[in-house]
């Protein structure tokens, strides 16, 4: 197994990306074969965002702001988080299957193929609900952006924020799903805890939470860099230099995901052991 892992480290990046896109487009072709399922799942993904939109509308009908954050700024927080989660499901949903593949021995097939295992696993599934999440999340983000009075000059920062948010989200989920190489369970408990943390905390300004929660979200598990930090910079709640932390969080999250996955593959002993 060590020899196979060494071989995979030597696989050119171009070949790895080609494998990813071939697998991803194959998933897309299989999904569009069942348009009814596609539209049902896409609609289901949008429903949660509609409920969040309604919640914020009701909340701000009764309070002027939340820790200094207005309605449109909060829409941007929720919208960017939804886009990040949707991008994770659209482009990297297979990472959630790591535990199942470990238990069933499906990792064996990936190890013997001339492409990085992490690429093969990540591209092995697409969450159809992500279409609704991305579309409606983007609509919330744009509506909040316009309502908050943010000009076109900040659009490049917004584009950077969306790209980085999707990468950080996918990398953190991958790293936590890779824990299943050791705990041997189909459910990715730690990754689900991450989603719960984001759903409960990261749709609100971090200032309303205790310092311990803020430290965890900013530095230990950098979920704040998915949506809170870029939105705070764009809306003027944080100094512009904080934006440098976003690509740093991308690099750190990706290295963490790759590192944990490699350690997991070294510990992997196939099914039945």
Residue carrying the six token digits 């991008």: 87
The set of long-range contacts for 25-31, using a CB threshold of 8 Å and a minimum separation of 24, is: 27/123, 27/124, 27/125, 27/126, 28/126, 31/126, 31/128
pTM of the model: 0.89
Using pLDDT thresholds of 50, 70 and 90, give the confidence band for residue 27.
confident
Question: What is the distance between the alpha carbons of residues 234 and 161, in angstroms, rounded to a whole number?
Answer: 10
Q: Is residue 232 part of a domain?
A: yes
pLDDT at position 17: 84
Reply yes or no on whether the pLDDT at 12 is more than 80.
no
Tell me whether residue 273 is in a domain. Answer: no
pLDDT at 9 over 70: no
Amino acid 172: pLDDT: 97
Measured on CA atoms in the order 128, 129, 132, 134, is the torsion positive or negative? negative
* Band of residue 271 on the pLDDT scale cut at 50, 70, 90: low
Q: How far apart are CA 33 and CA 213, in angstroms?
A: 44
Whether residue 223 is contained in a domain is answered as yes
Instruction: Check: CB of residue 174 under 8 Å from CB of residue 99.
Output: no
Looking at the structure of the chain, the number of domains it has is 1
Cβ neighbours for 249, distance < 8 A, ≥ 6 positions apart: 164, 168, 222, 225
DSSP designation for 267: H
197 three-state secondary structure: helix
- pLDDT, position 269: 84
Band of the pLDDT at 223, cuts 50, 70, 90? very high
Each residue's pLDDT tens digit, 62-105: 999 999 999 999 999 999 999 999 999 999 999 999 999 999 98
pLDDT of residue 169: 96
Per-residue pLDDT tens digits for 199-208: 888 989 998 9
Q: 272 lies in a domain?
A: no
The domain in which residue 236 lies consists of 2-267
Rounded CA-CA distance 56/216 in Å is 25
Q: Which two tokens stand for residue 257?
A: 């995901």
Rounded distance between C-alpha atoms, residue 52 and residue 139, angstroms? 13
| Residue 7 within a domain | yes
């Amino acid at each position: 197994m060590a020899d196979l892992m060494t071989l995979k480290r030597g696989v050119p990046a171009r070949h790895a990306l080609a494998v990813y896109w071939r697998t991803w487009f194959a998933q897309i072709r299989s999904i569009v074969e069942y348009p009814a399922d596609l539209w049902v799942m896409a609609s289901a993904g949008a429903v949660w965002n509609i409920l969040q939109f309604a919640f914020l509308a009701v909340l701000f009908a009764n309070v002027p702001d939340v820790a200094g954050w207005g309605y449109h700024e909060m829409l941007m927080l929720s919208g960017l988080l939804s886009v990040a989660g949707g991008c994770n499901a659209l482009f990297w949903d297979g990472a959630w299957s790591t535990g199942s593949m470990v238990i069933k021995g499906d990792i064996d097939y990936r190890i013997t193929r001339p492409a990085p295992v992490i690429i093969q696993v990540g591209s092995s599934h697409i969450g159809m609900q992500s279409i609704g999440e991305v579309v409606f999340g983007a609509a919330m983000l744009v509506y909040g952006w316009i309502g908050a009075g943010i000009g076109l000059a900040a659009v490049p920062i917004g584009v950077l924020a969306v790209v980085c948010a999707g990468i950080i989200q996918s990398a953190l989920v991958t790293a936590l799903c890779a824990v299943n190489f050791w705990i041997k369970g189909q459910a990715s408990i730690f990754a689900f805890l991450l989603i719960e943390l984001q759903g409960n905390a990261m749709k609100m300004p971090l200032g309303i939470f205790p310092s311990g929660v803020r430290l965890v979200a900013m530095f230990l598990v950098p979920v704040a860099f998915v949506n809170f930090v870029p939105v705070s910079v764009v809306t003027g709640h944080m100094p512009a230099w904080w934006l440098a932390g976003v690509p740093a969080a991308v690099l750190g999250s990706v290295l963490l995901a790759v590192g944990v996955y490699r350690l997991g593959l070294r510990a992997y002993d196939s099914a039945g052991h």
